Structure formats: C-alpha cells, structure tokens
C-alpha cells in the first residue's frame, strides 16, 4: 500500500473540502482547510519526498470563472514535479494532451466518459488516442443509493446508472492505466473509511487502484491494508497535518514504507 498525495484546488486556492458539499452554483463548498501555500509548494514537497502518483484536482467546473485560476495553480504543481503528479478536473480529449505536456504523468477523467448516466466508449477511445492508455486514470467516484454504490459525475453531483463492482473495473481496465476511487459519502469528513466500498474494491485484481475518502487515523490505514490485502493505495486529505489534520506527514510516509 502506497501513500498517494493530493492537491485539491477550488476557487484558485489549495483546499480540503467536504466532497458531498461541492456545488457548481455559486462555486460553493464547505471548507475544512484553506492553505496559505500555492500548489507549487506542495509539488516541490512531494518531489522532495519522491512521492510520485499523487493527484492534482481542479474542483471548479470548466465554465466557472475560477477554472482558469485552478488551471494556473495546477500547472505550478505539475511544473514543480514533472512526471510525478496526475491531473484531473474538466479533462476531455481536447485538453488531455495539454496537461501531459505541462508535466502530468496521467490525466484523470470521470464526467467526460460517464455522460448522461452512461459510459461513452467512443470518448474513452478518443482519450486513449489523444494521450495513450498509459497516461489515463479513470476516477470512479461513488455514492451510495438504495443499498448500492453508483458512479457519480460532475463534481460528485450527478448519479450515473453504473454500479460499482469488480466486473465494472474489469470492463474498463483495458482503457486506462489506473483507477482512482473516491468514497464521496465520507470524503472530507474524517469520520473513517467507507468499509463497504473498500471491500468491493478489494475483490478487484488488475490495474493499480487508489482509494480516497474519510481516512482519519492510522487505524483506518490498517483496515485499508487488511481489507485491500495491501493492493489498494491510499490518499489522505483533511486528516493530514499538511492540511490542518492530526496525522503526521512523516509518520504516514514511514507507515507506508516510503
């Protein structure tokens, strides 16, 4: 289990938010932490600690007046750690190559692929043509509804028809290099991992998979390692001391053997 760092950017600032609170209307979100540092600071820190494979997420919609500020912040991080970070948020086949050119190792995609509630395989193929399967991460963020987990899009505001399962991951793995899974119901709340979702993810064996959502303690890391049989990588946001939380960055690196 590797630790994958994150840089979440909202309204042009590095933040930690409660994921389920994100609204396009008014560019609103409940904030846990707003950093005094820019994204480049975190890119340099992650490079110094050789933490490749983390993600930079632009949280505003592409038509938001803040998206350009998000993009500029993201580029600072990518240029500070060339080839070390993945970029997501508003990615399409038209701009994917731009972020790779700016230094991203991968682009992370959800809403462009899951459109009108369904998987757009034509768009997956266009993305693969644009940057190559080896540079593509699919973010299958999930929320629970009527007892099942469904992939959600548009900054976690819209449910698709796709239920999270090992078979869904198997179906999509030929199009991408990795998966990023957000447990949206617990994202940013520091109330513990989504045990049920992690158990579903643990059934999958294939592409590298990173879980994000709710990690609040080293006990959570132990549970994630146990359920995931050490195959699932982890992202920690609000609980990390870099973002005002109680978990020491250095101790997390030590725990994950990095």
| DSSP assignment of 50-113 | T-TTEEEEE-S-TTSTTHHHHHHHHHHHHHHSTTTEEEESS--TTTHHHHHHTT-SEEEESTTT
> By the 8 A CB rule, do 209 and 201 touch?
yes
Give pLDDT, residue 32: 76
Average pLDDT value for the chain: 92
Residues above pLDDT 70, as percent of the chain: 94
At residue 189, the pLDDT reads: 64
Quick check: helix, strand or coil at residue 188?
coil
Per the model's pLDDT, the better-predicted residue between 247 and 29 turns out to be 247
Radius of gyration of the chain (CA): 16
Rounded Cα distance, 120 and 153, in Å? 13
Which CATH topology does 6-255 take?
TIM Barrel (3.20.20)
**Cα 76 from Cα 47, distance rounded (Å):** 13
Structure tokens at 1: 């289990």
Rounded CA-CA distance 178/251 in Å is 26
| Residues β-bridged to residue 3 | 234
pLDDT of residue 116: 86
Coil, helix or strand at residue 173: helix
The answer to which of 87-96, 146-155, 204-213, 237-246 has the lowest mean pLDDT is 146-155
The whole-number pLDDT of residue 20 equals 56
Rounded to whole angstroms, what are the CA distances from 128 to 85, 92, 217, 219, 229? 19, 11, 37, 38, 30
pLDDT of residue 190: 64
- Gap between the Cα atoms of 99 and 144, Å rounded: 31
Q: What is the pLDDT of residue 137?
A: 98
Q: What's the token pair of residue 180? A: 């990023």
Query: What is residue 16's predicted lDDT score, i.e. its pLDDT?
Result: 86
- pLDDT tens track for 163-214: 999 999 999 999 999 999 999 888 766 679 999 999 999 999 999 999 999 8
- CB neighbour class for 75 (10 Å; exposed up to 12, middle 13-18, buried from 19): buried
Q: Encoding tokens for residue 121?
A: 């395989």
Name which residue leads in pLDDT, 209 or 21: 209
The stretch 114-120 carries a mean pLDDT of 90
157: confidence class by pLDDT, cuts 50, 70, 90: confident
């Amino acid at each position: 289990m590797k630790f994958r760092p994150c840089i979440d950017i909202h309204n042009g600032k590095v933040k930690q938010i409660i994921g389920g609170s994100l609204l396009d209307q008014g560019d609103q979100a409940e904030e846990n932490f707003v950093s005094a540092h820019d994204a480049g600071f975190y890119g340099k820190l992650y490079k110094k600690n050789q933490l490749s494979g983390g993600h930079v997420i632009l949280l505003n919609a592409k038509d938001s007046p803040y998206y350009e500020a998000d993009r500029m912040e993201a580029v600072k991080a990518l240029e500070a750690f060339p080839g070390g970070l993945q970029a997501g948020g508003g990615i399409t086949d038209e701009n994917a190559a731009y972020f790779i050119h700016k230094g991203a190792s991968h682009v992370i995609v959800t809403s462009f692929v899951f459109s009108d509630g369904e998987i757009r395989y034509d768009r997956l193929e266009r993305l693969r043509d644009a940057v190559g399967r080896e540079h593509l991460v699919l973010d299958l963020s999930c929320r629970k509804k009527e007892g099942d987990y469904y992939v959600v899009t548009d900054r976690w505001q819209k449910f698709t028809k796709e239920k999270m399962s090992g078979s869904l991951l198997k179906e999509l793995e030929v199009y991408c290099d990795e998966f990023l899974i957000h447990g949206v119901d617990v994202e940013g709340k520091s109330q513990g991992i989504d045990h049920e979702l992690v158990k579903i993810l643990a059934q999958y064996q294939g592409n590298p998979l990173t879980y994000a959502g709710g990690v609040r303690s080293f006990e959570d890391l132990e549970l994630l390692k146990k359920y995931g049989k050490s195959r699932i990588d982890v992202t920690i946001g609000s609980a990390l001391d870099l973002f005002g939380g109680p978990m020491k960055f250095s101790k997390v690196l030590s725990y994950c053997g990095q």
